[in-house]
Structure 1
Amino acid sequence: MKREEIKYIIEAVLFAYGDPMSIKDLKNVVNEDLSIKEIEFMVSSLMEEYKSQNRGIQIIKLEDKYQMCTNSDYADFIKKAVEPSRKKSLSQATIETLTIIAYRQPVTKAEIEDIRGVKCDKVIKTLLDGNLIREAGRLNRIGKPIIYRTTDEFLKVMNIESLKDLPDIESIEKAENTEKGE
């Protein structure tokens, strides 16, 4: 099979799969005698083609996975076409809880409640339902508490590639203190 054909197979697989997919998984699907680096190069090549032509779709990187999605430049047109039901914005309590999970993950409900000082059952359910967090297992201690982590959906909503791209806590605190005039 020609390399150009393999590149378009990768494109078709990413389109059809919909969810983020790792290079290793792409290599297994293509089942060619190509290295991980070669597959990664082909994905990067596709990404650059979409970007340089300002196409309606794009491939984005989320941690170590890739996903095909629409180009955000055309979001207004997409909204008109699909007329989505309006999503409720997140409450202050939900944002606080999501922030704790993002910066402290993996974290248990008890740890979140200890930081916030209030119960958070309903807020955690909202975040789980919104696919912004997920259950990431249980701790091996009394009660076997569930631990929570953010999801790839969280990265997409935050428009970041990795958790490393989250703002530094110290810079946020400095900005808040500056706003308060401290």
Structure 2
Amino acid sequence: MALAASTMPFAGIATLLSKTAPSSALPPSSVPQLRRPGSFRVRCQAENPQEPATPVSPPPEASPPPPPKVSTKFSDVLAFSGPAPERINGRLAMVGFVAALGVELAGGDGLAAQLASGDGLTWFLATASALSVASLVPLFKGVTAESRSGGLMTSDAELWNGRFAMLGLFALAFTEFVKGGPLV
């Protein structure tokens, strides 16, 4: 309705002009020509009907590219930007954070008291050694964490959980230092 009402005045003006102005009042040079000078052709290049169409075979299915070669050199695996340091430290931090909170809840000892007593030193060394070896063996065989991740347990989720566990251990130690005793 609004569209019809908005075009109505223009239609009325055109009708009024056509009735009042004689058609011969406009000089022929001011009337635009609708035809282009010369001929304008459109050609289509199609297959020649005399030649039989050659069947087009589908492209061969592309196989997925092979995974990139991963360096298994000791210096590359344990380099600062290599795959091992952050992953191993994150795994140890996750175990350490849970163990520190568990011992604190069970015995009431804070993180500083746990470290000062030295009672869990053998357990710490055994756990750290076992996790480090278990993390390094696949890397030295050329298996990456990204190739083994999928679903809910992705390699990125493990890295982020390890980072948060590192921050959690630091926050636990800082909170106990400020508070002057165990968190719980």
Judge same fold: TM > 0.5, yes or no.
no
**When the two structures are superposed, what TM-score results if normalisation uses the length of structure 2?**
0.21
From the two aligned structures, give the one with the greater strand fraction: 1
Question: Which fold has the larger relative contact order, with Cα–Cα distance below 8 Å and residues 6 or more apart in sequence?
Answer: 2
**When the two structures are superposed, what TM-score results if normalisation uses the length of structure 1?**
0.21
Pick the structure with greater CA Rg. Answer: 2
